[in-house]
Chain A
Amino acid sequence: MHMVVLTKGVPDFREGQVSFDEDGHLERGKTPTVMNPNDRFALEAALQTRVRHGGRVSVMSMGPPGYKEVLQEAMETVYADDLHLVSDREMAAADTWATAITLSAGIETLGEPDVVFAGFKTADGETGHTGPQTNWCLDMPLVTHVVSLDIDEEAGTLRAKRLVEGDIEEIETVETELPAFVVADPEFEPSYRTAGERLTLKDLREETRARAENYEEHLTVRDHADINVDPDYIGLDGSPTIVSSVDPIPKAPAEREATMVDPDDTRAMQDVLTAMQSAVGDGDGGDTAAAGGD
């Protein structure tokens, strides 16, 4: 079983990490790059498949050379065997379409994987297009919003549970032939219910520790010539999307007036209580006012 997982480096949007300028624009230089949080679920899905069925996991990303560390993080998460970075100045400023063409060409240089995994949406673009568009180029069966999956190697099929319309309340089971393209939902939960699976997982973790330290030995960087794509179809030149301008979303105005009260100020608190009691009294009778006692 050969699996390829797609991942992307994104700005670390966590509090304390992310930095914006006065106009509310992201300061890329001051914000660290991390692995796209949603990609973790794609990596978990690949790892579970590997633990159950064995095989090899490759992780691929498109981006600047700085994404190498993101790939290292991915290796530690999924215990990947090899890492692939498609990186070229020609690829810069690509929209999802140009990215999909680049990634699909990259995947094709790795042979014919059995399953390709992608995460649901990146934390920066938020489009959710790249996975499905990459698959459109690869022309495999596509299963999105996957929350659990089982593979029958003998039959060469993949059976997945997926959220219908991305709704956790509605789950359907679908089956497709391999090779297939899987987009893991953030609700994806890996399941290791046998000791054998957990022991394999422990072996993989052990094996990966040394590998992740020297991850560059397992990393291949390719440019557009290596993956055999025409520069006109990638990067800014290959991107049909035009972003005319970016405006910060204005803060929603408060609908109600708020007054701050110091809880140690007994008089002010008494006023609050009186106000609450009269508010309740105005409504459906006085009974409920007593609930605050004791």
Chain B
Amino acid sequence: MSDYEHYEALVVGAGPGGAAAAATFANYGIETLVLERGVEAGSKNVSGGLIYAEESAPYTIDDLFPGFREAAAERPITKYRIHNIAGDKVESFDLTDLHEHDTEWSDSVLRRKMDSWLEDRVHERTRETGGGLLTGVHVNGLLREEGRIVGVTLDELDPITADIIVAADGVNSELARDAGLMDWDEPDEWFQGVKAVVDMPEDAIADRFDVADDEGAAHLFSGDLFEGVRGGGFLYTNRDTLSLGTVFHLDSLVAEEAEPHELLDGLLTHPLLAQWLGDDYTELEYSAKLVPDSKKVALREPHFGRLLLVGDAAGQMQAQGPIIKGMNHAVTAGALAAESYAQAKSRNEPEKAGTRYARKLRSEGVMKKLRPRGYELLRGVAEDDGVTGVVDSVLTSAVGRAGIRALSGRLERLYNVPTLSALMPDTRTPYVTLPTVIAEELGTRVRETSSVTPPDLEARIGGLTYDTDIGNPHITLRDESFEASGAAVAACPVSAVDFGGGCYREEVVRTNGSEERVVSLDTQPCVECGTCAVVADTDWSHPRGDKGVEFKWG
């Protein structure tokens, strides 16, 4: 064994998954070092964001961190509605029953505030074990000896070895990739979310959303307002801000060559939102994030040797129609990973921590939620293009429309059945066709007009805080041809066709009389979402510690 600095447990990433793992290690008295690349925990994180405490979950965030809701969360979400939209016609369903199914509580959160609160607690508790939490440290890969994973390598520190490594380093996990457990190849395995945090005084929130001090509202949006791109929108009330965003299947974004920020603007300026946004729209922060689709990528065996993956790094993000749960699963997984190691160690077989962890994910019901069996069974048929075409043409035909009208009284109830949500195929049917038909047949016209003028992309980028690592770009283009990397120009949330201030730009190079379409990259405005890692041909890593974008809200 080489003479490396050693800790018994190493946790990479101080989001909810990493925090849960670290707290659990500390509860077992295990020496734990937590490494976070942001200037503060939460500064690199974006969520929709609602966090759930599920009744069926073995661990919840407030079990592990008493006082979490009061100190780190925004509002309990007590109203949950979905709006089916076709033009200016809207049919709304109350999904509060679905939202409350298996739910002990659910709060809206802003990640900078939430994760930085967790950071202090995690540091305090892990410090007692002889470890602690460090920010501004970027773990960039795995350290191997004789082919086996023994630790990690870092930009800022010498390599560190550990007996157990929990990778909670997010959707773009460099450790998961290094271990060969995840790749960034298939756009249909990912969603891309973009979000705006909007300023709104507490009394305006109380007024416009009809909520008391200890109440909050969530609104979801689907239908024809997103140019046919598969996905939807959301609005969550925070204490004195709103989180508004859109989430789309990445393959659909690419296929439609849609501009994410324009789709977000489509939601913000829809007349339905005028009642909530009023005429004093002030955007505090624009952000974006890639979201794994757990139905397709949640790893059944998220471990390799001493390395255990939790949260987004393991694809543990449940997004099934109107059910969107990520952070709670990361918390459960983080705690189960740490517990698995502690138990395996006490049985003198620490090498079995990984298989024990995977078994717990199954026996505690986590894997069933992430990869519903019904979806797997139906997927082959339901996601067949031919079948989708038939279903869509039936739905939009007179027969289908008559059926929707006939179901009208029961649709809301059907939407509230959890097992049906879990079955939803990834096609345009549930995201676009069905909501559009419902709105067309049953909806009522919105009377308001929107006076919202969202900032343009240049202003949105200008409003973000960056510490640019000059001369050391964290992403480089491997293939700059338009065929290989051109999709990033539109799909990157901080780039746009004919916009010179973004990351990706299309250029035409003329040489010896011939023209070539190429793509150029400037990583300065990067929000580190990872979209281009999937849709373009890049060498992608996170920036060094403390560098890159710093989200103030998240």
Contacts and interface: CB of A to CB of B under 8 A. Distances in A.
A89 interface: no
Interface in A86-127: none
A196 interface: yes
A193 interface: yes
Contacts of A209: none
A199 B134 contact: yes
Contacts of A198: 134, 137, 157
B157 A194 contact: yes
Contacts of A202: 123, 132, 134
B5 A196 contact: yes
Most buried by B among A194, A199, A202, A203: A199
B35 interface: yes
Interface string B6-22: 01000000000000000
A254 interface: no
Contacts, number: 29
Nearest to A199: B132
Contacts of A195: 5, 7, 33, 35, 131-132, 134, 137, 157, 160
Contacts of B160: 195
A196 B123 CA distance: 13
Contacts of B379: none
B127 A193 contact: no
A195 B156 CA distance: 10
Nearest to B123: A202
Interface in B148-179: 156-158, 160
Interface string A197-230: 0110011000000000000000000000000000
A192 B5 CA distance: 13
Nearest to A195: B33
A202 B134 CA distance: 8
A293 to B, nearest CB: 15
B132 A194 contact: no
Interface in B22-61: 33, 35
Nearest to B136: A198
A126 to B, nearest CB: 31
B31 to A, nearest CB: 11
Contacts of B131: 195, 199
Most buried by A among B5, B35, B137: B5
Interface string B118-156: 000001000100011010010000000000000000001
A194 B5 contact: yes
Contacts of B157: 192-195, 198
Interface string A62-104: 0000000000000000000000000000000000000000000
A199 to B, nearest CB: 4
A195 B32 CA distance: 11
Interface size class of B (residues with CB under 8 A): 10 to 19
A192 B35 CA distance: 15
Contacts of B134: 195, 198-199, 202
Contacts of B123: 202
Contacts of A193: 156-158
Most buried by B among A194, A195, A199, A202: A195
A199 B157 CA distance: 12
A193 B134 CA distance: 12
A194 B123 CA distance: 17
Contacts of A199: 127, 131-132, 134
Contacts of B33: 195
Contacts of B158: 193-194
Most buried by B among A192, A193, A198, A202: A198
Contacts of B137: 195, 198
Contacts of A196: 5
B396 to A, nearest CB: 53
A203 B7 CA distance: 18
A193 B137 CA distance: 10
A198 B156 CA distance: 11
A203 B5 CA distance: 19
A206 B396 CA distance: 65
B25 to A, nearest CB: 15
Nearest to B34: A195
Interface in B414-460: none
Contacts of A203: 127
Contacts of B127: 199, 203
A202 B157 CA distance: 15
A196 B247 CA distance: 41
Contacts of A194: 5, 157-158
Nearest to B160: A195
Contacts of B35: 195
5 contacts: A195-B131, A198-B134, A199-B127, A202-B132, A203-B127
Q: Which 8 pairs across A and B sit closest by C-beta, in order of nearness?
A: A199-B132, A193-B158, A194-B5, A198-B134, A193-B157, A195-B33, A195-B157, A195-B134
Interface of B: 5, 7, 33, 35, 123, 127, 131-132, 134, 137, 156-158, 160
Interface of A: 192-196, 198-199, 202-203
Given A195-B134, A195-B137, 20 more contacts: A192-B157, A193-B157, A193-B158, A194-B5, A194-B157, A194-B158, A195-B5, A195-B7, A195-B35, A195-B131, A195-B132, A195-B157, A195-B160, A198-B134, A199-B127, A199-B132, A202-B123, A202-B132, A202-B134, A203-B127
